[in-house]
Amino acid sequence: MRKEKSWQMKLTAYMLSQTISMLGSSIVSLAMIWHVTLQTNSGISIAGITITTFLPQALVMLAGGIIADRFSMKKIIILSDIFIAVATLCLAILYFLGYQSILWIYIFNTLRSLGTGIQLPASKSILPLFIPEEELLRANSYSTTIWSIIQLISPGLGGLALTMLPLGEVFLIDVVTALIGVGLLSTISIQETDKNIAENSIREMKKGFQYLSRSRTLKSILILYTVFQFLVVPASQLTPLLASNNLGEKVWILSGIEIAFSVGALVSSLVMGYKKIQISHFKLIGCSALLFGLMMILVVISKQVHLFMASMLVMGIGSPLYYTPLITIIQKETQLEYMGRIFSYVDLLGTLATPCGMLIFGPLSSINLSSAFIIPGLFLAFLGGSILIQKKTILSNKSDRID
């Protein structure tokens, strides 16, 4: 009983630290996007924020995986948070001094993204160090729940902060929340395995790739994750455009569909966190793909607000059904010494899938917006159905069962 309470207390402190830190980062990121949008009303300027958010972290993720496997994951998370906070603080100081150029936002957003890219593999690899294997799905469900709550409340908080405070003071929110998160994380005692820091980095990266190549399960999951991320790009990036075309250009409608998705994701992750579901992890991913595919087709023909929002709600329910089991499978199937490098591949391909998807579905939406949803929706529905009707999955061991 004492051991159970020990990991539960550590998980509570860890989740609380990450919640506070991520909420501050989300508020500031949204404030940056909205500030650039209001100041420039330029698609090119907004694209600059997107590029400086995703490209730098993609470039350093493989290095982040090697670092996570070499050094203390807890220290990596703490130092990355401090680095991001310092970068944001420097940006705030520049704005206080009157140097209020969007170029500075691009530069320091790039630095923030680099810190995130180093941090992500460690933050996804750390749970197996202090969470029992049979409780990993629940622990990851709590993490998904927290992210859903942040997505639900951060737009409102970001808008309120940007309305009431100068932009420089809004930036300080991330600094304060990062310091609180670091303080909480510092109180957690996590026993880590011995790390080999003497080996050449290139050799370590090669060994990580060889480890991935030898595992049929990890290869299949990685391919599935990348394909899924690519096919859901229209749902994540083009839904506001579809809603404005189908329902009218009203701000409350665009806000409503975002809230509907977040509420669905929150409910689904809460159920997965508190209810013992006797369904294989892989089958849950199949359910998610099927739900996403069908709803992407349904939103195209939804000409009424309530039907569109209901479709987004169901799509939100499907989101944790794919992401949470997928992360859990990787954590269970990967040896701790390779965990950081495997998650670096996962994060890298997942991050690159979004801009690659937009290169295809963005131009297609200009030609025929409905096709940009229907075509990937059909592929997702077929993928999900194929997974669900399989008698055997790529997972043959007992860890594929939710306890």
Q: pLDDT tens across 51-108, in order?
A: 788 788 888 888 888 888 888 889 999 999 999 999 999 999 999 998 888 899 999 9
The reply to whether 245 and 330 lie within a common domain is yes
- The answer to whether residues 268 and 318 touch, using CB atoms and an 8 Å cutoff, is yes
The reply to whether 18 and 167 lie within a common domain is yes
Asked whether residue 346 is domain-assigned, the answer is yes
Asked whether residue 113 is domain-assigned, the answer is yes
Asked whether residue 160 is domain-assigned, the answer is yes
- The answer to whether residues 34 and 159 touch, using CB atoms and an 8 Å cutoff, is yes
Domain of 148: which CATH number? 1.20.1250.20
* Domain's final residue, options 154, 187, 220: 187
Residues 174, 178: Cα–Cα separation, whole Å: 6
Asked whether residue 285 is domain-assigned, the answer is yes
- The answer to whether residues 28 and 161 touch, using CB atoms and an 8 Å cutoff, is no
pLDDT band for position 397 (50/70/90)? very low
| Distance from the first to the final alpha carbon of the chain | 18
The reply to whether 77 and 165 lie within a common domain is yes
Mean pLDDT calculated for residue range 13-36? 87
* Domain's final residue, options 163, 187, 211: 187
CB neighbour burial string for 50-59, b if at least 16 within 10 angstroms, e if fewer: eebbbebbbe
The reply to whether 135 and 220 lie within a common domain is no
Residues 401, 396: Cα–Cα separation, whole Å: 10
Place of tokens 């090119």: 44
The number of beta carbons lying within 10 Å of the beta carbon of residue 390 is 12
Query: Could you give the number of structural domains in the chain?
Result: 2
Output Rg (C-alpha) for the chain, integer angstroms: 21
Asked whether residue 317 is domain-assigned, the answer is yes
The reply to whether 207 and 294 lie within a common domain is yes
The reply to whether 209 and 146 lie within a common domain is no
Share the mean pLDDT of the chain: 82
Asked whether residue 399 is domain-assigned, the answer is no
User: Is 0.75 surpassed by the pTM of this model?
Assistant: no
C-alpha atoms less than 13 angstroms from C-alpha of 138 in its C-beta half-sphere: 17
What per-residue confidence (pLDDT) applies to 171?
A: 94
The reply to whether 83 and 143 lie within a common domain is yes
| Eight-state DSSP code of residue 232 | T
Asked whether residue 396 is domain-assigned, the answer is no
Asked whether residue 151 is domain-assigned, the answer is yes
Q: Residues for the chain: how many in total?
A: 403
Type of residue found at 175: V
The reply to whether 140 and 236 lie within a common domain is no
Residues 58, 55: Cα–Cα separation, whole Å: 5
* Domain extent at residue 35: 1-187
Place of tokens 């703490």: 78
Report the share of the chain in percent with pLDDT over 90: 24
The reply to whether 275 and 372 lie within a common domain is yes
The reply to whether 219 and 248 lie within a common domain is yes
| Eight-state DSSP code of residue 301 | H
Tokens of 212: 């991935």
The reply to whether 122 and 221 lie within a common domain is no
pLDDT band for position 368 (50/70/90)? confident
Return phi, psi of residue 350, to 5°. Answer: -65, -40
Closest CA to 263 of 211, 212, 320, 208: 320
pLDDT band for position 326 (50/70/90)? confident
Residues 61, 117: Cα–Cα separation, whole Å: 5
- The answer to whether residues 49 and 106 touch, using CB atoms and an 8 Å cutoff, is yes
Rounded to the nearest 5 degrees, what angle is found at the Cα of 218, between the Cα atoms of 216 and 221? 105
The number of beta carbons lying within 10 Å of the beta carbon of residue 175 is 21
